Structure 1
Amino acid sequence: MPRVSKKNLFALAALAVVAAAGYWGYGHYRLNHADLKLYGSIDMRTVDLAFEESARLESMLFEEGAQIKAGDLIAKLDESRHRIARDQAAAQVNVAKAELDLLLAGTRAEEIDVARARLKAAEANLVLSERTCKRYQDMGKASSALVRDQACYAARADRAAKEEAKRTLEMLLAGTRAEEIDVARAAWVQSQTRLADAERALRNCSLYAPSDGVIRARLKEPGDMVGANTPVYEVALMNPLWARVYIDEINLGKISMGQNVELTVDSFPDKVFEASVGFISTVAEFTPKTVQTESLRTNLVYEVRLTVNDPEGLLRLGMPVSARLLSK
């Protein structure tokens, strides 16, 4: 067996050290630069849609599983009661406006002429009744006490009638008080507010989709009486589409907001969906049961939400996903 020289032995040892260092360096590089794989599911964000008014449900326009777009009419209430209330409120606005216009127009000249004529008639009646009273008083015992009293009471009544006619004419000449106009104007504004509320209630008899989504549950049927805020649909929102995944604390430094992600699902194994990091939780939690990787089941993890690009609408809510976090 040939003897190995010290020089060769030293060279072999140095080579072994270099190889070990290279292997450790390569492993460390792979650990820090390899793409990270995360697990989770398509996020299920739902909203309960309800009317703001109470009435009988007239129609439900979509079935469960149907896709809807923002602004789609999805249900209607019976509008008859709310339409009557709207028409009544509109009539009250017209009445209040007419009363205000009447006060603003002031007294007509014909009314003032009538008041003047009534005052002149009252003055004439007063002159006659006062003279009659004085005549009976001057007659003394030649006239009966009853006749004298009747004549003098008639004079006092005519005097009061004359004062009433005078005050009426003065009021007509002075015109409408500013306070009365203010009250009438406030009543008109109040009637307009009631009309606006009635029109709002009538509009709310139609229920529209607030966003793109999928009908998950149809909770009521036509003919049902529904109260205000009673849900009639449960809708899963699809815009934006989220995937909820989890990352452990060790790898938390490898992820950042806006980072690109490739998403795959079992239903379409050959298709890759583009996504990006949209949210990273600041609070750790135990790994949810929906994450089915053995190495992560008992670890503390952080929730990450990915904004997913799914132009073909292939992904479904709750679908398990695997996310490959691309290197920064």
Structure 2
Amino acid sequence: MIDKLHTTLSAHRLQVLLALALLAVAIGAYGAWRWSALFGPSEDTSHVVVSGNIEAHESVLSVTQVQAPIVYLPFDEGAYVKRDTVLARLDDSLYRQQTEIDRTDLDIATAQISANESTLAATHNSVVSDQFDLAEKRLDLGRNETLLKSNAVSVQARDLALTAERQSAATLAHDQALVEVASNNIALARANRAAADAKLKLDQVMLSYTVLRAPFDGVIAVREAELGELAGAGVAIFTIDELDHVWLRAYVNEPDIGKVRLHESVDVTTDTYPGKTYRGRVSFISPQAEFTPKTVETHAERVTLVYRIRVDIDNPTHELLPGMPADASIALLAAGK
């Protein structure tokens, strides 16, 4: 009887212990589920996921140094254009006319050089002739001086020969001065031609400013002008985005930055294209820490020190657009490796 009672108590105790064990397991499972629901899954220490926005090289295009109405504007927003494509053209009639005037001035300056060179050549010939004439006049003077000593000629004849020699010397000096003048005129004409050529080139540059070209392959994001509008320096006509190569600006917490490497491969995902992964690489790590940007909601996160990084992403299909939110998964390496 006692043995039977002992057996019954042991079985009851075993059932109680088993029930307590099952209860403990249930409580543990429930606690794990609640922890996961409240705080998320356990942190993966092999990767860090950072969030940011897609950015692209963006240029606001306007004309430079000129002012004229727009007469050609072939593209609308969303158009893809290649580098050097003509995006806009201004009325260039005034600038084209100025270049024609400059060409005429250049031709005149060139002709003036030729005229002065001809003058110089003629003056050189005159100097040579003057030199021969002076030599002859000096011989005549010498003969008359000799003949005067023997009374073969009169004093008047000797004086006439002396006057002729002096006149010939003066003519030679005059023509030699004209050679110098002609040489200076050639130098001046060449300077004028150089100035005219520079003026023509400057106005040709101004003429080229009446044509607005795409600085790179890209997509027109904003068209800010219409045909007939007066375009001028600093007045925006187009905004163009370079979408072939975009980047993600993101921030890494200070404890993890030592485990991120430059040129490291990165997986980038977006909410817009779920399930699709874009390959990128870390192209920049800021050398300076900063506080988390104010766009982060909680105060605790805003006062956390972070480092800005840039992840370059090839975007041949132009799916990734500026401002689009994206996440990047970065494999963490051991610090110092």
Normalised by the length of structure 1, the TM-score is 0.68
Deviations 1:7-62 (A, max 9, x none): xxxxxxxxxxxxxxxxxxxxxxx978511111001014422111112211112222
Cα pair 2:285 2:307 within 8 Å, conserved: yes
Q: Which residue of 2 aligns with 1:192?
A: 197
Report the equivalent of 2:71.
58
Q: Is the 8 A contact 2:117 2:182 kept in 1?
A: no
Question: Is 1:313 aligned to 2:318, yes or no?
Answer: yes
**Are 1:99 and 2:112 matched, yes or no?**
yes
Where do 1:120-269 residues align within 5 Å?
Answer: 170=175, 174=179, 176-269=181-274
Q: Residues of 2 paired with 1:80 and 1:313: CA distance? A: 39
Task: Tell me which residue corresponds to 2:289.
Answer: 284
Alignment partners' CA distance in 1, 2:43 and 2:97: 73
How far is 1:63 from its partner? 1.4
- SS of alignment partner, residue 215 of structure 1: strand
Q: Cα gap change, 1:57/1:167 in structure 2, threshold over 3 Å: closer, same or farther?
A: farther
The CA RMSD measured in Å over matched residues stands at 3.1
Give the 3-state SS of the residue equivalent to 1:196 in structure 2. helix
Q: Distance in 1 between matches of 2:280 and 2:291?
A: 24
| Deviating more after overlay: 169-178 vs 229-238 | 169-178
Gaps in structure 2 of 5+ consecutive residues: 1-12, 14-41, 130-166
Conservation of the 8 A alpha-carbon contact between 1:106 and 1:175: no
Measured at CA, do residues 290 and 270 of structure 1 come closer, stay the same or move farther in structure 2, by a change above 3 Å?
farther
Q: Counterpart of 2:104 in structure 1: which amino acid?
A: A
Q: Structure 1, residues 111-140: CA drift from partner, whole Å, max 9, x if none?
A: x99xx9xxxxxxxxxxxxxxxxxxxxxxxx
Amino acid at match of 2:91: D
User: Residues 253, 66 of structure 1: CA spacing in aligned structure 2 closer, same or farther, 3 A cutoff?
Assistant: same
- Specify the code of the residue in structure 2 equivalent to 1:50: S
By how many angstroms is 1:169 displaced?
Answer: 7.9
Aligned pair partner of 2:53 in 41, 48, 66: 41
Task: Determine if the alignment matches structure 1 residue 76 to structure 2 residue 76.
Answer: no
Contact 2:256–2:332 (CA<8 Å) still a contact in 1? no
- The one-character-per-residue Cα deviations of 1:211-230 (angstroms, maximum 9, x if unpaired) are 22222222221111122232
Structure 1 equivalent of residue 134 of structure 2: none
Cα distance in 2 for partners of 1:297, 1:170 equals 90
Q: Which amino acid aligns with 1:315?
A: L
Matched, 1:88 2:101: yes
1:163-192 Cα shifts (integer Å, max 9, x gaps): 9x9699847984753222111110010000
Give the AA of the match of 1:60.
L
Which deviates more, 224-233 or 186-195? 224-233
Map of 1:127 onto structure 2: none
Aligned mates of 1:290, 1:60 — CA distance in 2: 39
Counterpart-to-counterpart distance in 1, 2:86 and 2:295? 36
Q: Give the corresponding residue for 1:272.
A: 277
CA distance in 2 between partners of 1:67 and 1:300 (Å) = 40
Residues 275 and 172 of structure 1, relative CA distance in 2, 3 Å threshold: same
- Classify the secondary structure of the residue corresponding to 1:106: helix
- Pairwise CA distance, 1:238: 2.6
Structure 1 residues 43 and 294, CA gap change in structure 2 (3 angstroms): farther
Range 223-232 or range 83-92, more displaced: 223-232
8 Å contact 1:39–1:291 — kept in the other structure?
Answer: no
SS in 1 for 2:226: coil
TM-score by length of 2: 0.66
Letter matched to residue 206 of structure 1: V
Task: Look up the equivalent residue of 1:187 and give its one-letter code.
Answer: N
The answer on whether the counterparts of 1:265 and 1:321 sit within 8 Å (CA) in structure 2 is yes
Q: Is the 8 A contact 2:260 2:331 kept in 1?
A: no
- What's the secondary structure of 2:186's corresponding residue? helix
